[in-house]
A = this chain, B = another copy of it.
């Protein structure tokens, strides 16, 4: 910009990264360029909100994803959930994954579903890194995830067949949610898709780590109590958190509800 001979620069918003904050603007001013700040910094932040969130808080941007029956079960009581949602919704999940830096699951989902968490539909060039939030129990050594170089977040060093392990402080034998999120973002994964299960979803929800959600409400009725999207107890209606529905559409015979 200095070399181009510009007379005036309007800055959308300052980079909050402490390593660069203000130094670029000082260089412009030193070169005699008039530097003014935009009166609408939020417009500039909106170009890459995850970046600003991370630079300011050290936390990633987390999108929760779950699929449930029209009467509210993410799985039946025996844990079975293949397939609650339809083919179009499942393809949409792959599209969602392809926009993410990482896909995060808990050890229970790893044990129960043995997922690969890769993008298998549409553009497959960008594969999110699989991340497993582990507890104190050993992880299944034969799981398919080991073929995908996963990052394991654990409360203590764990033997894993492949990938990396990051040890973070624990609460009740499980990684503290905020510490886990911080460790993940610290490794450069800023946009995370949280794919369950209910224990992890509840821990991250109540730690205020979830910024956005996509719920697939399937055209199926379970007809009784199954497994809820969030573990723990919804004690009183006053405890419910208000969210804002930002996008709604029908996908095949399912309904896709995006919220924040």
Hey, which bits of chain A sit against chain B, CB under 8 A?
66, 68-78, 80-84, 202, 205-206, 213, 215, 217, 219-226, 228-245, 248, 250, 253-255, 257, 259
Cα of A213 to Cα of B242 in the assembled complex, Å? 25
| CB nearest to A226 among chain B residues | B234
**A223 adjacent to B248 (CB under 8 Å):** no
**A202 vs chain B, min Cβ distance (A):** 6
Give the number of copies in the complex: 2
**B220 adjacent to A243 (CB under 8 Å):** yes
Cα of A119 to Cα of B234 in the assembled complex, Å? 30
- Contact among B71, B74, B228 with A224 in the assembled complex (CB-CB below 8 Å): B228
| CB nearest to A81 among chain B residues | B237
**B255 adjacent to A240 (CB under 8 Å):** no
Tell me whether A235 and B77 are in contact in the complex, defined as CB-CB below 8 angstroms, given that A221-B240, A240-B223 are known contacts.
yes
| CB nearest to A218 among chain B residues | B240
**A108 vs chain B, min Cβ distance (A):** 16
Tell me whether A215 and B70 are in contact in the complex, defined as CB-CB below 8 angstroms, given that A236-B76, A237-B75 are known contacts.
yes
**B229 adjacent to A71 (CB under 8 Å):** yes
Cα of A120 to Cα of B5 in the assembled complex, Å? 70
Beyond contacts A66-B71, A225-B233: 16 other A-B pairs, Cβ-Cβ < 8 A, are: A70-B213, A70-B257, A71-B229, A71-B234, A72-B73, A72-B229, A73-B234, A77-B233, A217-B255, A219-B242, A222-B230, A224-B231, A225-B232, A245-B250, A245-B253, A255-B257
Residues of chain B with a CB closer than 8 A to A80's CB: 236-238
CB-CB nearest 6 A-B residue pairs: A72-B72, A222-B234, A226-B234, A224-B232, A80-B237, A224-B234
**A234 adjacent to B202 (CB under 8 Å):** no
- Contact among B77, B82, B83, B224 with A202 in the assembled complex (CB-CB below 8 Å): B224
**A237 adjacent to B84 (CB under 8 Å):** yes
**A217 vs chain B, min Cβ distance (A):** 6
**A116 vs chain B, min Cβ distance (A):** 20
Cα of A231 to Cα of B71 in the assembled complex, Å? 11
Residues of chain B with a CB closer than 8 A to A213's CB: 70, 221
